[in-house]
A and B are shown apart, each in its own frame.
Chain A
């Protein structure tokens, strides 16, 4: 299985300031079809995860443009340009390049 490693484990951010989360995969997520199946989710307290970013950099429906994704191969980054109070929770990366999906361990984001 592909191992997904997220850093940092936690992040404390002042509202209005940027934040960045890294996700590294144990093997390349680039598929032969040219797509890279890397996703980002946010799980707010007491809620199921919600999809933020699909295929590395595409924002899902309704996701604010302060969220952006980048990267290629095995190294990926989620950036929040200006953290808002509603952005607190745990962020997960996930790959679906292989049939057995795997998630990163999560990055907890809270406010200073």
Chain B
């Protein structure tokens, strides 16, 4: 069965950096686009980024453009989100999801807290 497991969340100070990972299993990772979505505490869903199968096509939300970088390692079945210059408003649960136009499978999420 499809499984997505995020890791790397935690507490970071404003201006700091953090790298999230998402490890996939149960499907051929290299055959699928992937996406990151976040949810601030008590708020709705916000799409963050999307990466193509080979990583040659990437899109970001305006709110993170220039600060976040998405990448993937198909040999390791892994998706990454490098987050720099973090702000308090980046505090959220970050989900990775498989993208087939729909976001059909989601991980359980990783909590990122940006606070001094």
Chain A residues in contact with chain B, CB under 8 A? Answer: 1, 35, 37, 39, 41, 43, 47-51, 54-55, 60, 90, 92, 94, 96, 99-106
| B:73-116 near A, CB below 8 Å | 95, 99, 101-109
Q: Are B61 and A100 in contact (CB under 8 A)?
A: yes
| B residues whose Cβ falls under 8 Å from a Cβ of A | 35, 37, 44-47, 50, 59, 61-62, 95, 99, 101-109
Complex contact B102–A51 (CB within 8 A): yes
Given contacts A101-B50, A102-B47, A105-B44, contact A51 B104 (CB under 8 A): yes
Asked if B106 and A49 make an inter-chain contact with CB atoms under 8 angstroms apart, the answer reads: yes
**Known contacts A37-B101, A92-B45, A106-B44: A101-B35 contact under CB 8 Å:** yes
Judge whether A103 and B104 touch: CB under 8 Å: no
Shortest C-beta distance, B62 to chain A (Å), equals 8
Q: Note all chain A residues with C-beta closer than 8 A to B106.
A: 48-50
Q: Which residue of B lies closest to A92 (CB)?
A: B45
Nearest to B107 among chain A residues (CB) is A48
Given contacts A99-B59, A103-B45, contact A48 B108 (CB under 8 A): yes
Q: How close is A28's CB to chain B, nearest CB, in angstroms?
A: 16
Bound complex: CA of A41 vs CA of B106, how far in Å? 11
In chain B, what residue has the closest Cβ to A39? B102
**Could you tell me if A54 and B102 are in contact, using CB atoms closer than 8 angstroms?**
yes
Chain A residues lying within 8 Å of B95, measured Cβ to Cβ, are 48-49
How far apart are the CA atoms of A92 and B109 in the complex, in Å? 17
Contact between chains at A94 and B44 (CB < 8 Å): no
Smallest CB gap from B99: residue in A: A96
